[in-house]
Amino acid sequence: MIEASLAELADALAAKKVTSVELTERYLARIDRHQGALNAFVTVDRERSLAQARAADARLARGERTPLLGIPIAHKDIFCARGWLTTCASKMLANFVAPYDAHVIEQFGAAGAVILGKTNMDEFAMGSSTENSHFGPARNPWDPARVPGGSSGGSAAAVAARLAPCATGTDTGGSIRQPAGFCGISGIKPTYGLVSRYGLIAYASSLDQGGAFARGAADLALLLNAMAGFDARDSTSLERPKEDYARDLARPLAGMRIGLPREYFGAGMDADVRAAVEGALAVLRTLGATAVEVGLPNSALSVPAYYVIAPAEASSNLARFDGVRYGYRAPEYGDLADMYRKTRAQGFGTEVKRRILVGTYVLSHGYYDAYYLQAQRVRRLIAQDFVAAFGECDLLIGPTSPTVAFPVGAQVSDPVQMYLNDIYTVGPNLAGLPALSIPCGFGAGGLPVGLQVVGPYFSEARMLNLAHQFQLATDWHRRAPPGFAAQ
């Protein structure tokens, strides 16, 4: 059962082969067993989950049949969920119980999905390894000495280890795709504006986008069907007709033009990653796709631009965590300024403070033009590069990350090295484009390699089509980490 796809789970629930309560119990038991090794969850609330499962079973008993009804899902601890601790993996919010549901949580709730728990992450989604968590690092199920990637590392580790059939994440510069790649599962970041940010605790508002993890692309289509949709409470939410992201899954790839950005295949990518990505390209060719080399000439500027824009927005977004109204407040302080200073010094971790400082600096009088405005200009150039590339091809592919998962602790002292993990992933965020990562093989140490697919705006169905056809021809996404397969 734990190897089943979401569609198979829905069938089993409908056929009464299993109840939502049984399914939820099974996953909760697996979480219990593996939480110590993986630290994938921040919060598990058995009774709350089972209550939801019972409600789903009642809906099933009434004959209701919707794709996610009764299916357990893990949510990144960045989404506010009414009555649940919602910590963003920060000491600052370690005591914060959300009084309302994020749009994403509402959507999954309406679909009848059962919340299994809230997953570990880099504090306020700032990081590429889930090491920057107030609750300790999450671990990669393929090798617990290694990171699962980040910032949505808990969600990726949970799905890879079969602690949840699917999970939500958020992606600001690669925070879904990179951990999906590191953990050998599939993950999608939709077009900016497709999934409401209401109730998603903001890191960098113009880049943040909710998305999903599952083992296979067909599952992602179902998850996206539930998540996407206009929400008037988010002014950047896009008002578009509802679409079925699974509609193109079965379409053959014959005639599809795949773009290979030459900048993504240059130096900097490890040989094992390159081998797996080229192997994937060969598979896509046998499926009828043709490949064309394209250029993204400004892609070298994407990491620098990202690390100006994202910290700038973060420095302002995180100003609300001041100890006045909710969350952490320093136990002892003198005057108001001292309360702010101590609360924020004690409540935020090192990486968060680093980005707040960088962001404050780049927005400061006299530096704004040179950094923030310049980065915005670069951002436009990067978006134009993608538009030009899509004039020559339907979708782009390349590596998700330049390396496989690295050991816990290996990069914590070198933030610039850490930032380079995002070298292939930040471009689509800056341009607002949809992108996904699917497993495409294994590299050094038997660690998974991710294949990134980037598409034009609103091309999610087409991207999922490519991913699904690839997964029909390969079984990388079905491989379970040793020790986590079904018994």
Partner 1 sequence: MSWEIVIGLETHAQLSTRSKIFSGAATAFGAAPNTQACGVDIALPGTLPVLNRGAVERAIRFALAVGGELNRTSVFARKNYFYPDLPKGYQISQYEAPIVAGGALTILAGGAEKVVRLTRAHLEEDAGKSLHEDFHGASGIDLNRAGTPLLEIVSEPDMRSAEEAVAYARTLHALVRWIEICDGNMQEGSFRCDANVSVRRPGAPLGTRCEIKNLNSFRFLERAIEHEARRQIEILEAGGRIDQETRLYDPERDETRSLRSKEEAHDYRYFPDPDLLPLAVSEQWIAEIRSRMPELPAARRARFESRYKLSPQVAAQVTASRDKADFFERSLMKIDTETYPEAPRDLANVTVGELTSQMNERGLEFSQSPVSPEQIGRVQALVLDGTISGKIAKDVRKAMWEGEGDPDAIVARRGLRQISDAGALEAIVAEVLAANPRSVEEFRAGKEKALNALVGQVMKATKGKANPQQVNDLLKGKLSG
Total residues at the site for partner 1 (CB under 8 A)? 44
Catalytic residue among 20, 49, 76, 186: 76
Label the pairing between strands 257-261 and 186-189. unpaired
Q: Which pair of structure tokens corresponds to residue 336?
A: 């108001």
Residue 426 lies near partner 1 (rule: CB under 8 A): no
Residue 346 lies near partner 1 (rule: CB under 8 A): no
CB 435 → partner 1: shortest distance, Å?
20
User: 472 exposed, middle or buried (CB, 10 Å; 0-12, 13-18, 19+)?
Assistant: middle
Count of beta carbons in the 10 Å neighbourhood of residue 397:
26
**Alpha carbon of 362 to those of 188, 369, 420, 432: distances in Å?**
30, 9, 20, 22
Residue 363 lies near partner 1 (rule: CB under 8 A): yes
User: 332 exposed, middle or buried (CB, 10 Å; 0-12, 13-18, 19+)?
Assistant: exposed
Name the one range near partner 1 by CB under 8 A: 362-370, 391-399, 400-408, 463-471: 362-370
Name the one range near partner 1 by CB under 8 A: 86-94, 389-397, 441-449, 467-475: 86-94
Residue 413 lies near partner 1 (rule: CB under 8 A): no
Residue 199 lies near partner 1 (rule: CB under 8 A): yes
Q: Which of 68, 167, 204, 281 binds partner 1 (CB under 8 A)?
A: 204
Residue 100 lies near partner 1 (rule: CB under 8 A): yes
CB 201 → partner 1: shortest distance, Å?
4
Q: Which of 5, 35, 290, 316 binds partner 1 (CB under 8 A)?
A: 316
Identify which of 277, 243, 325, 220 has the alpha carbon closest to the alpha carbon of residue 441: 277
Residue 380 lies near partner 1 (rule: CB under 8 A): no
Cβ within 8 Å of residue 377, ≥6 positions away: none
Q: Which string of b and e fits 17-27 if b means at least 16 CB within 10 Å?
A: eebbbbbbbbb
CA distance 345 to 332: 13
Reply yes or no on whether 175 is catalytic.
yes
Catalytic residue among 151, 206, 302, 459: 151
Q: Which pair of structure tokens corresponds to residue 339?
A: 């309360």
Residue whose CB is less far from partner 1, 319 or 388: 319
Are 257 and 394 in contact by the 8 Å Cβ rule? The answer is yes
Residue whose CB is less far from partner 1, 235 or 487: 235
Identify which of 483, 430, 447 has the alpha carbon closest to the alpha carbon of residue 34: 483
Instruction: Return residues touching partner 1 (CB under 8 A).
Output: 79-80, 86, 88, 93, 96, 98-100, 102, 197-202, 204-206, 232-236, 312-313, 315-316, 318-322, 324-326, 336, 340, 360, 363-365, 368, 372
Active centre residues (catalytic) = 76, 151, 175
